[in-house]
């Protein structure tokens, strides 16, 4: 196993020598589930979330208040929070709350008291915000763990090289 860390990988596209730990971390960034998969396209990820929200709210409006689409509003919140971060997730959660309110209001959902729609909207907004904040926190923890892993592997490789140089200097 230690031989794995001593070897170096050659990446033909960049003509740069990288260690196995760098190769592992670089490969993780190419997975679509990785939080930084769309880092250069954060605006596009938010736009996709907004398009999904528009489609969901249109479908929610067209089907009327008897079909509950509440659970599907978490999809754009999750995409925005995971690929965009905390600010984008919070913004999308607020947008989902507003769009849900508008869809419910425009379908003329009958409530026994007029203030119930505001209660429903605030409860849905709280759940969207909770989801957004939770996913963005998990995203931050994943990124922090990757950074710590990178530092640990680099330190391990440096220690291994240092130990080899110490053995080489004492054997002479």
Please state, in angstroms and rounded to a whole number, the distance separating the CA atoms of residues 76 and 74. Answer: 6
pLDDT on residue 35: 77
Q: What is the pLDDT averaged over residues 154-163?
A: 87
Q: Which of 101, 96, 19, 83 is nearest to 52 (CA)?
A: 96
Q: What is the pLDDT averaged over residues 14-32?
A: 57
**Four-residue CA torsion sign, 69, 74, 79, 81:** positive
pLDDT at 128 over 80: yes
Q: What is the pLDDT averaged over residues 133-142?
A: 94
pLDDT on residue 25: 56
Tell me the β-bridge partners of 27: none
Pick the range with the lowest mean pLDDT from 58-62, 123-127, 159-163, 168-172: 168-172
Q: Which of 97, 23, 104, 20 is nearest to 63 (CA)?
A: 104
Give residue for tokens 């429903």: 120
Q: Are the C-beta atoms of residues 43 and 49 closer than 8 Å to each other?
A: no
Q: What is the pLDDT averaged over residues 71-88?
A: 95
Q: What DSSP state is assigned to residue 71?
A: G
């Amino acid at each position: 196993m230690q031989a794995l860390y001593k070897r170096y990988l050659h990446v033909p596209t960049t003509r740069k020598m990288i260690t196995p730990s760098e190769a592992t971390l670089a490969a993780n960034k190419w997975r679509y589930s990785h939080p930084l998969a769309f880092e250069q396209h954060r605006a596009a990820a938010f736009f996709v979330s907004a398009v999904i929200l528009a489609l969901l709210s249109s479908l929610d409006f067209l089907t009327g208040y008897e079909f509950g689409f509440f659970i599907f509003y978490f999809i754009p919140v999750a995409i925005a929070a995971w690929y965009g971060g905390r600010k984008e997730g919070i913004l999308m959660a607020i947008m989902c709350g507003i769009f849900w309110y508008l869809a419910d209001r425009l379908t003329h959902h009958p409530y026994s008291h007029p203030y119930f729609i505001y209660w429903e909207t605030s409860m849905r907004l709280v759940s969207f915000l909770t989801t957004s904040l939770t996913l963005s926190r998990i995203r931050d923890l994943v990124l922090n763990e990757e950074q710590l892993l990178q530092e640990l592997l680099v330190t391990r490789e440096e220690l291994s090289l240092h130990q080899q140089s110490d053995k080489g200097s004492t054997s002479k």
